[in-house]
Amino acid sequence: MVQPSVDRSDKFFGYSGIHFLEIILPCIVGLFIGLLVFVSPLVAVGVTALVMVVLISLAKPVFICYLVILSTAFTSGMTRGKLIPFLIPNEAVLVLAVAIALVVLVVAKRRQSTDMGGLLAAIVSLTLGTILIPGISYLLRGLKFTVDDLIVLFAPLQYFVVFWLFTYLPDNKAERTNILKLMLFCGVVVAGIGLLQALKVGPITSLLHNWYSSSHEAQAVRIGRITSLMSAWNGLGIFLMVNMFIAWAFGVSRSNELGNGFIALAMVICTAALVLSGSFAGMFSTVVGILIITVLLRGLNRRTVILLVGMAIVTVVTFLIFGALIDKRLQTQFGYGGMIPATLLDRFRIWQDIYLPSLKGHILWGVDLTIPNTFSWKYTESQYISLLFGFGLIGFIGFVLWVFVTLYWLYRRHVHEYLKSKDINPTTIAIVISIAVMVVMFMAGFTNAVFAYSGTAEYMWILLALSTQRVVEARA
């Protein structure tokens, strides 16, 4: 029987589309990379890596998410412009991820079953309060935006992009579980590097000094604290807190997705590093968040008790091994003889002497997007004073509305996805972690600008994205 001929009318300079994509285009790319070797071998290697990333991402789109997680955990604490002009490496990766994701989503025409009604309203509130209204206000007041001003004003956009990627690229339960696994794995690596920093391991201290330098990194071990890849001790503490929430949620929910060994290892290393970070905000918030997750998942069981006892033992052992380092931290905080941490007293003085007076007459629309060089201390040491200083009362209200509307939406999602079905899956896990993260970060925000911390902010938006998925595949 004669088969009908197929008309391949898609022609590229006389060649069919199939031939062009499978034969001619790879040859052109290979020739281009080969010629680049004569110009710069390093550039040729970079282009080759880029081509591989694009090909893998087109075949398996969730790879883009994995790449974003790796770059967030391992490069978001780098100095801006150190490796790539004007950018932190994870920002460059995010730009690449968006370009590839647009192609994937348009070609594949992916559709996800999501529930984002309340969350979208919250995001609109955040956008109006911290981008659009302040931007228009400063324009009308004649502010000439600097690069730093624009970075501050449009900072939320990168989080919206992260949210979009992790909402639409993961395609099933296994991929979403793998995302949570990779997030926790990266957190364990960051914690492990912090422990090596505390032990003053030469290659690690050199790595941090050369690529993750900051005022915190320079004096970290001297005053009894560690910074790891986050370049700031409180930033590290809050980042480890989020990772411990992931491990804890899987542990108390009796889910076997991560394995008991990995959960135990994560809790041990992250607990030790959290103690050595010296972040009181991180330690207090971790305790509160663990209680929230345990209550929401009704996870008071034998495994919960074992994890709590294990955390207590690790804390004691950490004090025994790093006693001298921890003693430095305690002396710094309480050596003056009082009961209130010295850093908290310093914050009160900074607020009273510098930032609260500057808000007079500017409370509605804000003072400036960046802190002027004339200020003797260039850190507000509070999420809410940062909001009032940069975006005024309008931005503060928009931000607070975002927090509370998001928490209301998350609880509604928790009721629908877990309390009614008792089903444990990546979505229900992400929802309870998100609730804990939002609550404790709202509290910690009084003394730290935690919602802007590198690594932590991206992880929070990833968790919110995973929380949007309707659990239909688990029932299919």
Nearest of 415, 362, 421, 353 to residue 388 by alpha carbon: 362
Say if residue 311 is in the same domain as residue 385.
Answer: yes
**C-alpha span between 403 and 406 (Å, rounded):** 5
Does the structure show a pLDDT above 80 at 93?
yes
Say if residue 46 is in the same domain as residue 130.
Answer: no
Q: What's the pLDDT score for residue 204? A: 93
Say if residue 178 is in the same domain as residue 46.
Answer: no
Q: What's the pLDDT score for residue 63? A: 92
Does the structure show a pLDDT above 80 at 105?
no
CB 388 within 8 A of CB 362: no
Say if residue 47 is in the same domain as residue 173.
Answer: no
**C-alpha span between 468 and 117 (Å, rounded):** 10
Q: What's the pLDDT score for residue 113? A: 74
**Environment class of 251 (CB within 10 Å of its CB; exposed 0-12, middle 13-18, buried 19+):** buried
Say if residue 332 is in the same domain as residue 235.
Answer: yes
C-alpha 112, offset from chain centre: 23
CB 118 within 8 A of CB 125: no
Q: Assess if residue 365 is contained within a domain.
A: yes
Cβ neighbours of 126 (radius 10 Å): 21
Among 54-58, 269-273, 435-439, the least confident range: 54-58
- 19's tokens: 């031939």
User: Taken in order 77, 401, 141, 353, is the CA torsion positive or negative?
Assistant: negative
Show which of 59, 74, 89 is a domain's final residue: 59
Q: Assess if residue 112 is contained within a domain.
A: no
pLDDT confidence bin for 73, thresholds 50/70/90: very high
Say if residue 168 is in the same domain as residue 308.
Answer: yes
**C-alpha span between 388 and 7 (Å, rounded):** 65
Does the structure show a pLDDT above 50 at 472?
no
Cβ neighbours of 212 (radius 10 Å): 22
Among 136-145, 174-183, 330-339, 389-398, the least confident range: 330-339
Q: What's the pLDDT score for residue 140? A: 93
Say if residue 349 is in the same domain as residue 463.
Answer: yes
Nearest of 185, 193, 321, 178 to residue 266 by alpha carbon: 185
**C-alpha span between 240 and 194 (Å, rounded):** 11
262: left (phi over 0), alpha (psi -120 to 50) or beta: alpha
**C-alpha span between 239 and 455 (Å, rounded):** 6
**C-alpha span between 289 and 454 (Å, rounded):** 20
Does the structure show a pLDDT above 60 at 8?
no
Rounded to the nearest 10 degrees, how much is the dihedral formed by the CA atoms of 370, 385, 80, 214?
120
The residue to which tokens 């010296």 are assigned: 278
**Its pTM surpasses 0.75:** yes
Does the structure show a pLDDT above 80 at 200?
yes
- Residue 35: in which H helix or E strand, if any? helix 25-39
Q: Assess if residue 430 is contained within a domain.
A: yes
Q: Assess if residue 385 is contained within a domain.
A: yes
Q: Which of 52-56, 152-156, 260-264, 433-437 is modeled with the greatest confidence?
A: 433-437
Q: Assess if residue 146 is contained within a domain.
A: yes
Does the structure show a pLDDT above 80 at 22?
no
Q: Bridge partners of 87?
A: 84
Q: What's the pLDDT score for residue 34? A: 64
Say if residue 35 is in the same domain as residue 133.
Answer: no
* Orientation angle between helical segments 260-277 and 233-252, nearest 10 degrees: 150
Does the structure show a pLDDT above 80 at 450?
yes
CB 280 within 8 A of CB 329: no
Nearest of 434, 451, 91 to residue 242 by alpha carbon: 434
**C-alpha span between 296 and 292 (Å, rounded):** 6
Does the structure show a pLDDT above 50 at 55?
yes
Segments forming the whole domain that contains residue 289: 117-467
**Environment class of 16 (CB within 10 Å of its CB; exposed 0-12, middle 13-18, buried 19+):** middle
Does the structure show a pLDDT above 90 at 108?
no
Q: What's the pLDDT score for residue 42? A: 64
Q: What is the mean pLDDT of residues 35-58?
A: 71
* Orientation angle between helical segments 456-467 and 383-414, nearest 10 degrees: 20
Q: What's the pLDDT score for residue 464? A: 97
Counted domains in the chain: 2
CA distances from 420 to 21, 295, 471 (A): 49, 16, 12
Average pLDDT, the chain: 86
2: left (phi over 0), alpha (psi -120 to 50) or beta: beta
Q: What's the pLDDT score for residue 36? A: 59
Q: What's the pLDDT score for residue 188? A: 97
Say if residue 205 is in the same domain as residue 306.
Answer: yes
Q: Assess if residue 92 is contained within a domain.
A: no
For residue 91, what are the contacts with CB-CB under 8 A and spacing of at least 6?
158
State percent of the chain over pLDDT 70: 88
Amino acid present at 186: C
Nearest of 441, 435, 439 to residue 413 by alpha carbon: 435
Query: Which is higher by pLDDT, 91 or 304?
Result: 91
Among 15-24, 38-47, 106-115, 275-284, the least confident range: 15-24
Does the structure show a pLDDT above 60 at 11?
no
**C-alpha span between 127 and 110 (Å, rounded):** 26
**C-alpha span between 412 and 116 (Å, rounded):** 11
Q: Assess if residue 436 is contained within a domain.
A: yes
CA angle 228, 232, 235 (to 5 degrees): 95
Q: Assess if residue 73 is contained within a domain.
A: no
- 416's tokens: 């629908």
Say if residue 427 is in the same domain as residue 282.
Answer: yes
Say if residue 49 is in the same domain as residue 160.
Answer: no
Say if residue 259 is in the same domain as residue 387.
Answer: yes
